[in-house]
């Protein structure tokens, strides 16, 4: 059996002390990446739901209210906790005559909180956006 040299004593402890923070940082980056990817997957389709609801409304104000309600409900259904939710509705198509093929466009932005991971230097939040459009109901009545 070989005996370790007396000068190499404790070198494993030094290696562990150097590599442990690097390993923790890599794990934290994987967690951040996974959280962003999951949020991106979950927000997909939220704007589509909001655009469909807005396109069935009879007026621009009703379209905006329906889009906001549908987006918030879809985010709750997806269990996506957003710090800020911004729903932008382009309801200018309601001015077009019925049957003209106009569409309502909805953009939903969700700010996902990342600060609870607790690694210095990582961003505190990330904003994820989904955009969709839906044709306005051709049989709607003008207000």
Confidence of residue 42 (pLDDT cuts 50, 70, 90): confident
Lowest mean pLDDT segment, chosen from 53-57, 63-67, 81-85:
81-85
Contact 35, 112 (CB under 8 A): yes
**Smallest Cα–Cα separation from 109: which of 74, 70, 82?**
82
- Residue 142 is predicted with a pLDDT of 56
Domain segments of the chain: what residues? 11-135
């Amino acid at each position: 059996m070989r005996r370790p040299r007396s000068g190499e004593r404790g070198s494993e402890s030094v290696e562990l002390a150097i590599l442990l923070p690097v390993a923790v940082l890599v794990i934290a980056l994987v967690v951040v990446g996974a959280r962003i990817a999951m949020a991106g997957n979950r927000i997909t389709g939220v704007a589509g739901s909001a655009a469909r609801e807005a396109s069935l409304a009879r007026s621009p104000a009703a379209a905006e209210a329906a889009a906001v309600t549908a987006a918030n409900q879809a985010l709750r259904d997806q269990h996506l906790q957003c710090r800020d939710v911004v729903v932008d509705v382009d309801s200018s198509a309601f001015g077009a005559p019925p049957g003209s093929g106009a569409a309502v466009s909805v953009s939903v932005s969700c700010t996902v909180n990342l600060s609870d991971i607790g690694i210095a230097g990582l961003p505190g939040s990330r904003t994820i956006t989904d955009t969709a459009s839906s044709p306005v109901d051709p049989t709607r009545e003008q207000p």
